[in-house]
Amino acid sequence: MLQSVNFFSLSFSTIVHIHPPPSSPARPRLTTLVTMGVSATVLLTVLCLLILVDHFAIDYARREAQQRLQQLSWQMRDALDGAVRQATGNVRLLTALPQVRAARPPAEVRQALESLQTTFPDYAWIGLARPDGTVHAATQGLLEGANVSTYDWFKGGKDKLYAGDFHPVAPLGKKLPAGAEPWRFVDAAGPVLDADGKQQGVLCVHMSWGWMRRMARTILAPAEQQYAAEIFVVRGDGTIMLGPNGSEEQKINSDSLTLARGGASGAVKESWADGRSYLTGYARSGHPDDPATLSWAILARQPEEQALSGARALERQILLLGAILGAAMALAAAVAARRLTRPLNALSRAIEAQLAAPAGAPTLPALQPVAAFHEVQVLSHALAEMLRTEQIHLDALRGLNEKLESTVAERTREIARKALQLERALGQEQSTQQLLQERAAELRAILDNAHDAFIALDPGGVVREWNRQAEKLLGWTRTEVIGQPLAAMMLPPLLRRAYERDMRTLAEYGDGATIPSRRVELMLHNRAGQELPVECSLAYVPRSSGHLFIAFLHDISERKSLFASMEEMALRDTLTGLPNRRALMKALPEALQRANRSGQRCAVFFLDLDRFKQVNDRYGHEEGDELLRQFAERVRGAVRKTDTVGRLAGDEFVVILEMLADDESAQEAADKLLPALRQPFTLKTTSVTLSASLGIAVHHPDDPQDIELLLARADRAMYRHKQQGIQQRARR
Ligand SMILES: Nc1nc2c(ncn2[C@@H]2O[C@H](COP(=O)(O)OP(=O)(O)OP(=O)(O)O)[C@@H](O)[C@H]2O)c(=O)[nH]1
């Protein structure tokens, strides 16, 4: 409890203090942020530019180069196709000449052939072979008479126009004037038919390979100069027919070659055997299915670095310019940021000074307005106003804090005091509880070991407590009766009604305190239904949880029987066992009442032994006692059982006779008694004979019930009888 109070006090104290500056790591300043931001923006822009250049310029340059190379390959293809077409066209023209068709004398034919050779100096040899393969006529008479029937051009040109692929022709080459390189030819041949369509021979044109090289140089010269392009003309078996120095007659294999052979044209980027990357334009000349054409692959290549060198140079320039521009802009941004953030920094320092002020400082340092551009001025004025307001609130809060702290301290002390009291009270409560438990245990032990039965009832008559002695006394076990309204069952009917009435009254008025504690004797019924005399000590116990009636029941059966025997003894003559005077004084009124009620008479005999003293004197008191006992027995035997015989005192006896029909009945009883008494009494040492005097007093139903008077009358009658006896003995 005390800990929670202190915690509350601490928390409150924390709340009312001004918050300290944040403990998070220092943030970068605005100047730094602006400079870094501008620099980053410039850097980003340059990077984007570079990416764009790389993406567009490089790509554009590559595509441009590829287009150029493709066009180059097309130019070369068109030139080749044109040359072959021209050659086959010339063959067709020659075969249409009459002197050729008619196979006129060789000189005439030769003239026509040489005429054409003059026009086309690259036609190294033009000849007409007869159907059997013998050369009929040829330019400069070369190979005339030679058999060329095994030559490809002869076989190919027999039926249709034929273009023969690049090949060296050894026999002809040896006859032609030697040049810088061996003779190589491309053939164009066609059938020579007469007017009837009958074959007259085959005409062939050997085109020197030199025209091809010249043509390539013409086409390639500008490209070679501008962008170092190279052209390859490749035969169907992959052998380079025409190419840069050292590459001819070598085999190549590349993607562009495969594509060109397939008839496609275009440009690709690929690596060549030298390991370098090239952009290659490709195309195919002629058509494989047309024997009048030559199907070659034309490849025009350029090193990629060469093709992209312009774009790369542009890229470097942009990078350099970007770096210079970025540095300049970062510098400008830093200067501008410093200028722009100067008032903000001043404001920030002022706020930091505020935050650095100690938590308990009575006043906050004043914030000086910053003269700068509009926004900062507004901000500084707003902050100054906020600080002024905060100072006011701080003062008010501090006052409130002090007041609250003193109140809290007072409350804390009070709570601590109360807690201490409560602690003590709890301690006492615990010890009281323990004491109560001990007391309850003691009480339980006392009750269980008490000699008396203990019963507690609530106002509804329900049993709430029942000790061991009650179990023994009344027969019900504790578990059987607790919670049961058994009290009424134990009471006899008369008492039960009174008990129920009292309970109802109590329930109605509810004040049992007025019931005095008392001790009463009751006759209860036990579980077997037997009557049980008990002495009951009753008490009323008011309680907050419901009042109780408690009762201690003491078994008084023994006491009752003792009292009864004592009472019996008190009413009995110890010598004779007859009712004594007290018993007679009690029995006599009852007999008179019965006589009155029955309307019959009753009589009283007063008997007195005559001269009894002499027996005592002569034989002793013991013999006198024996005589009195035998006398009593004899009187008892001489009257009716319903009559009462009692010893009044000494040798005086009284007999009460009831249910007498008349006065004579009493006399008759006396007459019957007296003779019996005159018989001798045998004592221990002697035998004695004596007489007794008897007086009769009869009570009639209407007589007053006066026993003294009745006894007095009987006594007087007895006295008279005794006197008569004395007189009679005296006369004798
Ligand atoms: N043995 C004995 N004697 C008793 C007892 N009570 C009284 N007596 C005696 O009885 C005698 C009675 O006395 P009295 O009636 O005057 O003497 P009595 O000899 O009978 O005289 P009368 O009645 O006039 O004939 C006394 O001597 C008593 O001492 C008793 O309990 N036992």
Is the distance from the beta carbon of residue 718 to the nearest atom of ligand 1 less than 6 Å?
A: no
Q: Which atom of ligand 1 is nearest to the CA of 611?
A: 19
**Closest to 541 measured CA to CA, from 443, 434, 429, 430:** 443
Check whether 220 has a pLDDT greater than 90. no
How is domain 571-731 classified at the architecture level of CATH? 2-Layer Sandwich (3.30)
Check whether 122 has a pLDDT greater than 90. no
Show the tokens assigned to 270: 């690929």
Is the distance from the beta carbon of residue 306 to the nearest atom of ligand 1 less than 6 Å?
A: no
431 forms beta bridges with none
Residue closest via CA to ligand 1's atom 32 equals: 625
Query: Ligand 1 centre from 629 Cα, in Å?
Result: 14
State which amino acid sits at residue 95. Answer: T
Residue closest via CA to ligand 1's atom 6 equals: 650
How is domain 450-561 classified at the architecture level of CATH? 2-Layer Sandwich (3.30)
Task: Tell me which of 99-108, 350-359, 533-542, 651-660 is least confident.
Answer: 350-359
Check whether 8 has a pLDDT greater than 70. no
Query: Ligand 1 centre from 726 Cα, in Å?
Result: 16
Is the distance from the beta carbon of residue 616 to the nearest atom of ligand 1 less than 6 Å?
A: yes
Mean pLDDT of the chain: 84
Check whether 663 has a pLDDT greater than 50. yes
Q: How far apart are CA 352 and CA 340, in angstroms?
A: 19
Q: How far apart are CA 116 and CA 194, in angstroms?
A: 21
Average pLDDT over residues 205-232: 82
Residue closest via CA to ligand 1's atom 30 equals: 650
Check whether 271 has a pLDDT greater than 50. yes
Same fold? 450-561, 571-731: no
Is the distance from the beta carbon of residue 650 to the nearest atom of ligand 1 less than 6 Å?
A: yes
State which amino acid sits at residue 73. Answer: S
Q: Map out the domains of the chain as residue ranges.
A: 59-328, 359-429, 450-561, 571-731
Task: Write down the pLDDT at residue 300.
Answer: 92
Residue 656: pLDDT band with limits 50, 70, 90: very high
**Closest to 284 measured CA to CA, from 66, 70, 63:** 70
Is the distance from the beta carbon of residue 457 to the nearest atom of ligand 1 less than 6 Å?
A: no
Task: Write down the pLDDT at residue 487.
Answer: 67
Query: Ligand 1 centre from 649 Cα, in Å?
Result: 9
Query: Ligand 1 centre from 624 Cα, in Å?
Result: 9
- Dump pLDDT digits (tens) for 473-506: 999 999 988 988 876 677 777 777 777 777 777 6
Q: Which atom of ligand 1 is nearest to the CA of 610?
A: 25
| Most confident region among 59-68, 79-88, 707-716 by mean pLDDT | 707-716
Is the distance from the beta carbon of residue 628 to the nearest atom of ligand 1 less than 6 Å?
A: yes
- The CATH number of domain 59-328 is 3.60.10.10: no
Check whether 138 has a pLDDT greater than 90. yes
Query: Ligand 1 centre from 330 Cα, in Å?
Result: 163
Is the distance from the beta carbon of residue 612 to the nearest atom of ligand 1 less than 6 Å?
A: yes
Average pLDDT over residues 368-376: 72
Task: Write down the pLDDT at residue 7.
Answer: 37
Average pLDDT over residues 14-39: 61
Task: Write down the pLDDT at residue 621.
Answer: 95
How remote is the C-alpha of 308 from its chain's centroid? 67
Task: Write down the pLDDT at residue 11.
Answer: 40
Q: How far apart are CA 118 and CA 140, in angstroms?
A: 12
For residues 266-303, one letter each, b for 16 or more C-beta atoms within 10 angstroms of the residue's C-beta and e for the rest, the string is: bbbebebeeeeebbbbbbbbbeeeebbbbbbbbbbbbb
Is the distance from the beta carbon of residue 609 to the nearest atom of ligand 1 less than 6 Å?
A: yes
Using CA atoms, how far residue 173 sits from 91, 183, 320, 633, in Å, is: 21, 5, 61, 204
- Dump pLDDT digits (tens) for 197-212: 888 899 999 888 777 7
Task: Write down the pLDDT at residue 388.
Answer: 81
Residue showing tokens 């269980």? 448
Average pLDDT over residues 525-530: 88
| Ordered strands of the 518-525 beta sheet | 463-466, 453-457, 548-555, 531-541, 518-525
Pairing type for strands 518-525 and 531-541 reads antiparallel
Is the distance from the beta carbon of residue 625 to the nearest atom of ligand 1 less than 6 Å?
A: yes
Is the distance from the beta carbon of residue 444 to the nearest atom of ligand 1 less than 6 Å?
A: no
